[in-house]
Amino acid sequence: HVYIRITLGETSLSFLSCHLQAHEGKEHYHRRCADLKEILRGTKCGGHKRYDVSILSHHMFVLGDLNFRVDLPKEKVVELLKTKNYAEVYGGDELANGVAMGDCLSNFNLADCSSFAPTFKVKRHVVGSIEDGKSVDEVYNLQRTPSYCDRILWHSLD
């Protein structure tokens, strides 16, 4: 992970970039949550021993391949994607649910991904490619459940 804090005038900005542990399953979810907490503990600054930058910065951004997955059976996600029911797919998003439940990055905001398909494990093909002679928008590599892994979250002090 990489962390930077800058001050512009009287406003402090912090950026934390992470690449968290991959894989599906509850044990990996809990590990990602614990890793985020541990990473934040390491961002104490300005002589403050008790507070991390999420409390000390006016604005903080957490971004990267956070690797949180959609916690729904892969077969259900595939069927939902066929009908473009992205809202229900996003309803299983571990990160959105984890933030809402306070498991990780509580009080942070994240973009609503319910209006588009997951971007994890998408194969992109040229429309009308010579190889297959067909128009193909998106085809998922179904070794993994399609998910929203690359994310940006933010938190601002009131």
**Between residues 152 and 121, the one the model is more confident about:** 152
Burial of 44 (0-12, 13-18, 19+ CB in 10 A): middle
- Token pair 């299983």 is found at 92
Q: Decide if pLDDT at 142 tops 90.
A: no
On average, the pLDDT of the chain sits at 85
Decide if pLDDT at 102 tops 80. Answer: yes
State phi, psi for 35 to the nearest 5 degrees.
-65, -40
AA identity, residue 119: T
Element holding 139 (H helix, E strand): strand 138-140
Q: What is the pTM of this model?
A: 0.86
- Alpha carbon of 59 to those of 104, 109, 130: distances in Å? 17, 11, 48
**How far is residue 67's CA from residue 28's CA, in Å, rounded to a whole number?**
9
Write down the pLDDT at residue 125: 55
Q: Within a 13 Å sphere around the CA of 113, how many CA atoms are in the beta-carbon half? A: 25
- Span of 15-19, 34-38, 88-92, 129-133 with lowest mean pLDDT: 129-133
Residue 53 in tokens: 């930058």
Q: What is the pLDDT of residue 56?
A: 82
Percent of the chain with pLDDT over 90: 59
Q: Report yes or no: 155 and 59 within 8 Å, Cβ to Cβ.
A: yes
Where residue 143 falls among pLDDT bands split at 50, 70, 90?
Answer: confident
Residue 131 reports pLDDT greater than 70 = no
pLDDT over 70 percentage in the chain: 85
Residue 105 scores a pLDDT above 90: yes
For residues 104-119, average pLDDT:
92
pLDDT of 88 over the 70 cut: yes
